[in-house]
Structure 1
Amino acid sequence: MAWDFETDPDYQALLDWADAFVRDEVEPLDLVLGDPYDKADPRHKGIVKPLQQRVKDRGLWACHLGPELGGKGFGQVKLALLNEILGRSRWAPSVFGCQAPDSGNAEILAQFGTPEQKEHYLRPLLDGDISSSYSMTEPHGGADPTLFTTRAVRDGDEWVINGEKWFSSNARHASFIIVMAVTDTEVSAYEGMSMFIVPAGTPGLTIVRNVGVAGEREGSHGYLRYEDVRVPAGHLLGTEGGAFVIAQTRLGGGRIHHAMRTIAQVRKAFDMMCERAVSRETRWGPLAKLQMTREKIADSWIEMEQFRLLVLRTAWLIDKHQDYRKVRKDIAAVKAAMPKVLHDVVQRAMHLHGALGVSNEMPFAKMLLGAEALAIADGPTEVHKITVARQVLRDYEPVKGLWPTAHLPTRREAARERHAEVLEHYAEALEHALGNE
């Protein structure tokens, strides 16, 4: 029976290197460079490319992919432990070749792409030379595929795409976009949608605007319009009608990676909280001596560690079963818990910093907004909670009869019947003993 909470020493050495490398070389990039997806930025080649090469030299480049694609083919547990480090910096995933949505797009291109598609799109994506976008959600339907209306119709050797897509992240920097569209209205949405590769600049593809989050003037989430966008028949990804299967393959592992990167953010907020607690002096001494402060720290540590173990256990289950469908409940639970843990710990840390905490001189406000974004991205929290409950309830059957199975009088009577002979024997013996007194 294997039940071990220790990391393999050889892999731990790699994690230790990654930890120091991200801290010393990558995290500073967050303060001096712009968008990691803007490959046209000349500073990218001068600063980031050498760092990426150091990662490759250590064998930690694009570890979610197999050796045939330049990765290590790590399982989800190893990837989770690595992503726990990478989540500290917005540049780290790009430096390690596993940034979303490129990582998910690379994964499905590797699994479902044709040799031609891999040569034209996957290879430069893996080399870090281009960026990509994933165009799934729609303005009116959100992430519910049963409400999607974007259509793709076959016309000879081409597919013609029409519709609108919402929050297609990094579309303005993408060299190509993977879009989900309805190809058969006569069957269910789960069987009637397909995925296509649309190169940037294809006639009819328009970025209506780039949507920012909260205070951002212009963000990186594209509102896209497809008007008679024509792509060759060979740009179909996978099989016709196979979009839902592809999407689930893409999203399952991605949610675990996001969760471990979220733990990195939670730990960063927790560290700032503890540092503030021992540093900030009040008339009664440091904040750390106050009971309310200690409660905040204790609650935060417990929630953080509970969530981390849930994520690692889910990653272990994925590695064990090699089937995301068998771990659907666990993945949904991780997704539902993730934003709440981040929100609660960040809010406590913010409050301990007082006015400084809500100012733009500390990262807490942005982190709080990030927690709310996590509650919506890749399916809203409410949907995932419904999934958890539905999966859990499958293991239960309605009680037969009037009373619940835990009804004490009923259980007591059943216990008496089961042990009636022994109970009666001892009752008679007791009665006999009392009669002899």
Structure 2
Amino acid sequence: MDLLDEAMVPANAKTVKRRARTFARENIEPVAGAYFESGEYPIDIVEAAREEELVAQEISTEYGGAGRSLSEAVAAAEEFFRADAGIGLALMGQSFGTGILEQFGTPHQKETYLRSVAEGDAITGMAISEPETGSDLAGMETTAVRDGDEWVLNGEKYWIGNGVEADWILVYVRTEESDKPHDNHSMVIVPTDSDGYDAEHVPEKIGMHASKQSHITFTDCRVPHENLVGERGNGFRMVAEFFNHGRTRVAAQGIGLAAAAIEEAWEFVHEREEFGGPVSDFQSVRHDLAQMRTKFESARTLLWHTVERMESGEDAAKWSSMAKLHATETAAECAETAIRLHGGHGLFDESRIGRVYRDVRMPLIYEGVSEIQRDIIYENF
């Protein structure tokens, strides 16, 4: 059973998909349980993926990256997240936010910061969410005040990938007051060795233990004025556009997780015997599996349709939201059914389905909870 078959994957993405699948099977699957248990950052796997050009894939060749397309990134994400979501997120997070910098940054910023990530000399991240504010981009309170040739940052960010590990972070800040709430924010590059930058890992999460999220505090943190990315006050629009692509990648994460849940359920019910026969002989179990497969194929078809629309240049807001909504909710439903079919065997810490069941909760939340996606879909109906 090959749930992540190549049938709907564009020709240009098949090679990357095969490379990602081989890498996942050889380097991620054998150690996924150990990394989930230890919670260690998978630096050895990150370095191995870098050697295979599976890290920072989307940075253009002009700045040392592979210059891969959205379809290639999505194809790799499906494979990584089927193998393990925490390690998959760690791999994809190595270059989080570089898309904004490449689109809106100055030539000097791109040469300085993008190249270092593409060549493996730096890790980055992007800081948007705050302790009291998640999906409300217009409500973020971390400030950056101009003081001569510097920006002075004060505030907090929360749930930030690589906040401790990164060499620089792209930070979403309030730079002015305006009667238009979407004109208040900007993006600023902050090196993590700057005075006034402090980060610590958040308490252990329910899932994705191999990825690291952080709580960042800025206390009179000064960075050069030239670290402003794009136009002052245009941060909301930058992030909103970035999320169109980001949500599509999260949809791919959901598809990978759903595939893992279905695989585990299928294998278990065909090996397990109850009442004198295989569990798979029960009609209710067969119906559960049929429902899981149907929802999975529906969500994956929508994902790849969305990729096609986006790569053709169509406005992607509603499509990326539909893909993210359907894929992540399908993953959660498949994991719920799969762990129920496992009974008590699914409750052990070392079980793959137990990890999947916990991991699926996170993509439901980051880059906008389901309710936000439904709002976007309605507004762009």
Inter-partner Cα distance in structure 2 for 1:265 and 1:388: 23
Equivalent position to 1:85, from 68, 79, 88: 79
Deviation string 1:120-159 (CA, Å, 9 cap, x unpaired) is 3222211233322221112222220222221111110011
- How far the C-alpha of 1:272 sits from its partner, in A, is 0.9
Alignment match, 1:197: 189
Alignment match, 1:68: 62
- How far the C-alpha of 1:259 sits from its partner, in A, is 1.3
Alignment match, 1:257: 249
Inter-partner Cα distance in structure 2 for 1:272 and 1:145: 38
Q: Aligned pair in 2 of structure 1 residues 327, 7: CA closer, same or farther (>3 Å)?
A: closer
Deviation string 1:389-421 (CA, Å, 9 cap, x unpaired) is 2322xxxxxxxxxxxxxxxxxxxxxxxxxxxxx
- How far the C-alpha of 1:18 sits from its partner, in A, is 3.3
Inter-partner Cα distance in structure 1 for 2:207 and 2:370: 23
Q: Is the 8 A contact 2:39 2:209 kept in 1?
A: no
- How far the C-alpha of 1:68 sits from its partner, in A, is 1.6
Alignment match, 1:413: none
Q: Does 1:286 align with 2:278?
A: yes
Inter-partner Cα distance in structure 1 for 2:55 and 2:212: 25
- Percent identity reads 26
- How far the C-alpha of 1:388 sits from its partner, in A, is 1.2
Question: Secondary structure of 1:376's match?
Answer: coil
- How far the C-alpha of 1:309 sits from its partner, in A, is 0.3
Structure having greater relative contact order (Cα 8 Å, sep ≥ 6): 2
Q: Which has the greater radius of gyration?
A: 1
Deviation string 1:351-400 (CA, Å, 9 cap, x unpaired) is 121111012121333323332222221111111112212322xxxxxxxx
Equivalent position to 1:99, from 92, 95, 105: 92
Equivalent position to 2:221, from 219, 229, 237: 229
Q: Is the 8 A contact 1:346 1:368 kept in 2?
A: yes
Q: Aligned pair in 2 of structure 1 residues 50, 305: CA closer, same or farther (>3 Å)?
A: closer
Q: Aligned pair in 2 of structure 1 residues 308, 150: CA closer, same or farther (>3 Å)?
A: same
Q: Does 1:365 align with 2:354?
A: yes
Alignment match, 1:211: 203
Q: Is the 8 A contact 2:201 2:212 kept in 1?
A: no
Matches within 5 A, 1:418-437: none
- How far the C-alpha of 1:234 sits from its partner, in A, is 1.0
Q: Aligned pair in 2 of structure 1 residues 70, 204: CA closer, same or farther (>3 Å)?
A: closer
Equivalent position to 1:342, from 328, 331, 345: 331
Gaps of 5+ in 1: 393-437
Equivalent position to 2:116, from 124, 129, 132: 124
- How far the C-alpha of 1:249 sits from its partner, in A, is 3.0
Q: Does 1:245 align with 2:237?
A: yes
Alignment match, 2:47: 49
Letter matched to residue 77 of structure 1: S
Inter-partner Cα distance in structure 2 for 1:215 and 1:108: 28
- How far the C-alpha of 1:52 sits from its partner, in A, is 2.9
Question: Secondary structure of 2:260's match?
Answer: helix
Letter matched to residue 30 of structure 2: P
Alignment match, 1:384: 373
Inter-partner Cα distance in structure 2 for 1:67 and 1:343: 37
- How far the C-alpha of 1:345 sits from its partner, in A, is 0.7
Q: Is the 8 A contact 1:36 1:91 kept in 2?
A: no
Which deviates more, 174-183 or 244-253?
244-253
Q: Is the 8 A contact 2:269 2:279 kept in 1?
A: yes
Deviation string 1:70-101 (CA, Å, 9 cap, x unpaired) is 4443433333223221222344566xxx612x
Question: Secondary structure of 1:129's match?
Answer: coil
Equivalent position to 1:375, from 343, 355, 364: 364
Inter-partner Cα distance in structure 1 for 2:323 and 2:99: 21
Letter matched to residue 114 of structure 1: T
Question: Secondary structure of 1:377's match?
Answer: coil
Question: Secondary structure of 1:353's match?
Answer: helix
Deviation string 1:201-226 (CA, Å, 9 cap, x unpaired) is 32222236623323899983222221
Equivalent position to 2:27, from 1, 25, 28: 25
Q: Aligned pair in 2 of structure 1 residues 142, 201: CA closer, same or farther (>3 Å)?
A: same
Q: Aligned pair in 2 of structure 1 residues 36, 127: CA closer, same or farther (>3 Å)?
A: farther
After superposing on structure 2, the runs of 4+ consecutive aligned residues of structure 1 that deviate more than 6 Å are 215-219
- How far the C-alpha of 1:302 sits from its partner, in A, is 0.2
Q: Aligned pair in 2 of structure 1 residues 93, 272: CA closer, same or farther (>3 Å)?
A: same
- How far the C-alpha of 1:65 sits from its partner, in A, is 2.9
Question: Secondary structure of 1:240's match?
Answer: coil
- How far the C-alpha of 1:116 sits from its partner, in A, is 3.0
Q: Is the 8 A contact 1:211 1:223 kept in 2?
A: no
Inter-partner Cα distance in structure 1 for 2:311 and 2:78: 18
- How far the C-alpha of 1:183 sits from its partner, in A, is 0.9
Q: TM-score normalised to the size of structure 2?
A: 0.88
Q: Is the 8 A contact 1:213 1:219 kept in 2?
A: no
Inter-partner Cα distance in structure 1 for 2:177 and 2:136: 16
Q: Aligned pair in 2 of structure 1 residues 26, 374: CA closer, same or farther (>3 Å)?
A: closer
Inter-partner Cα distance in structure 2 for 1:48 and 1:315: 26
Inter-partner Cα distance in structure 1 for 2:99 and 2:343: 44
Deviation string 1:248-292 (CA, Å, 9 cap, x unpaired) is 232221211121122111111101111111100112410111011
Gaps of 5+ in 2: 1-5
Q: TM-score normalised to the size of structure 1?
A: 0.77
| Root mean square deviation, CA, Å | 2.8
